[in-house]
Structure 1
Amino acid sequence: MKVELAQLAGQDNGTAHNLKSALAAITASASDTQLIVFPETHLMGFPSADTVAQIAEPLDGPTVQAVQQAARARKIAVVVGVAENDNGTFYNTTLLIDAEGEIALRYRKTHLWASDRGVFSAGDRFVTAQWNGLRVGVLICYDIEFPESARALAQLGAELIIVTNGNMDPYGPTHRTAIMARAQENQAFALMVNRVGEGDGQLVFAGGSALVDPFGTLLHEAGREPCQFSVELDLAQLAAARRDYRYLDDQRLRLAGEVVEHADGRRELLMP
């Protein structure tokens, strides 16, 4: 399976600029790419408490619709972060849009970083979807510093964990370690796409977008510059990593919460 990682420099509160760069990356993707992944809240950047009401959009708003149209035209799936406005409640949200342009998965960040608090509300569930014969789950940035987040997706059957990231200096090494650990602990592929460049408030984003295999081996890692590059997922590695033992079978403690199965193949773990 061929996936492209779009490690881009976004603009905070810069929807027009960010959408233009996302559409350009989708258009530039290789003809055999099945999925392209962007950073956390890429389409809007990071709003503040003062700007979020003007910047955040509903999922049927013009910015997401433009990405859906591009995905449909290019016949490629897209994972992209947005600032979501749900009837006046704001979420740091990542979408999986399939090659037909439909929203196959919506995940709202459950662990709010310091700069998220007072801007976004926390999500209340973890979710996976069936896509291209693979069960996919999404996490956002700070989520991966909590082993329970990835384990929740693994309990829902995730084989690929996608992390949209907005990680800044000096915490790049933290997420490098975390993404490798989360893949190894759950015997799943983990793919992380981070932002680069400067943001508001003198933040410098750390890059380091990466692909890790189900053994926890770092297969690809980007530097600190904007780039768009492809990686190959050898799906046979899933069976190889799980051949001799399964952590999920042997674990003594399981995460609490109600599991909801949807007719479209989505699975959700609701927080207790």
Structure 2
Amino acid sequence: MRLALGQVEPLVGDKAGNLQRAEALAGQAAEAGADLLILPEMYLTGYALGREQTLALAEPADGPSAQEIAAIAAKHSVAIMYGYPEAATGGTEVFNTAGFVDSTGDRLLDYRKLHYFGDLDRDQFDPIPGEITASCCPVIPWRGWQLGVGICYDIEFPELARQLAVSGADLICVPTANMVDCDHVQELLLPARAVENQLYVAYANYCGADSVFEYGGLSQLAAPGGQQTLAGRGEQLLIAELDRQSLEASRAENPYLRDRLFQVAPRGAEMTANFPHSS
């Protein structure tokens, strides 16, 4: 599978501009032979909005912008994953969500960010309702691959990546808005997540700045062997390849999931040993 990671500067509050840019990026991704275009966290509106503007710009998962993204995907025969503020409960609640639309325009998944980063996330978005369980971390089949999602800060928690891995994920897609002073995520954590879980991690970040943050770029595809296909600091459409044969060879050489002693446990539960040790 071929991915296109859209590393762009945020257009804050400009849905029309972001949709127009998504059209151009989808066309470029199609020309490069990409199957899937991944765009950053809160791509539709920009990330640093504040509560009032986030609520004003939020749309339901099947809202007009979602329909336009679906039309763009179908027009260029490229699947699209993108971040947006999801309006829920009659518009009184809003979540930080990633939508996934396949290359025919069918909407296959909407994933809500679980781990909120700092005061801005907590001020802008409502808490995820109910207990956080494995059902909050779905894995879906697509074109012979198993896809999971995490949004930005989510991937910095090993439990989420491990939950997706034990659910069969081959690829974790991560729309993100990571700041320039947090390069350790791209340099250390992403290849670690890929290696320890024996899967690919695709990380699509912003670059440039808005009125609150400066973003670090360095979008990448981290492979299960630790290799990184890496973007720079500026705007770029990064093209990267997933290889099934390499994935299976790495899993045979590094059977971490088979050999682990502990299972992922729900929040608040004790970790339990998985004995006897498999051979």
User: TM-score normalised to the size of structure 1?
Assistant: 0.90
> Quick one: distance in 2 between partners of 1:122 and 1:177?
29
Equivalence map 1:50-65=2 (5 Å): 50-65=52-67
Q: Note the alpha carbon deviations across 1:42-73, whole angstroms, 9 max, x for none.
A: 01112211212101111111111100011111
Partner of 2:149: 138
Q: Deviations over 1:158-211 (max 9, x none)?
A: 00111111001211233331111100010001111100111122x110000011
| Equivalent residue in structure 1 for 2:214, among 197, 204, 208 | 204
Q: Distance in 2 between matches of 1:63 and 1:96?
A: 13
Structure-2 separation of matches of 1:249 and 1:30? 37
1:23 aligns with 2:23: yes
- Find the partner of 1:240 among 236, 249, 273: 249
**Who wins on radius of gyration, i.e. which is larger?**
2
1:227 to 236, 244, 248: 236
Question: What is the SS of the residue equivalent to 1:95?
Answer: strand
Q: Distance in 2 between matches of 1:122 and 1:184?
A: 31
For residues 126 and 106 of structure 2, the distance between their equivalents in structure 1, rounded to whole angstroms, comes to: 24
**Displacement of 1:229:** 2.6
Q: CA–CA distance in 1 between the matches of 2:63 and 2:178?
A: 27
Counterparts in 2 of 1:122 and 1:100: CA distance versus 1, 3 Å: farther
The two structures, once aligned, show a CA RMSD in angstroms of 1.4
Equivalent residue for 2:188, pick from 170, 177, 184: 177
* In 1, Cα distance between equivalents of 2:93 and 2:196: 34
Q: Which residue number corresponds to residue 106 of structure 2?
A: 102
TM-score (norm 2): 0.87
**Secondary structure of the corresponding residue to residue 167 of structure 1:** coil
* More helix per residue: 2
CA displacement 1:76-132 (0-9 Å, x = unmatched): 111111111112221111111111111112111000001200211244411111000
Map of 1:105-184 to 2, 5 A cutoff? 105-114=109-118, 115-123=120-128, 124=132, 125-184=136-195
Amino acid at match of 1:40: E
SS of the equivalent of 1:148 reads helix
CA contact (8 A) 1:58 1:85 kept: yes
Q: C-alpha separation between the residues in 2 aligned to 1:42 and 1:199?
A: 13
The alignment of Structure 1 onto Structure 2 pairs a total of residues equal to 255
Aligned counterparts of 1:68 and 1:97: Cα–Cα separation in 2: 6
The gaps in structure 1 that reach 5 residues or longer are 258-272
Structure 2: runs of 5+ lacking an equivalent: 267-279
Find runs of 4+ consecutive structure 1 residues off by over 3 angstroms: none
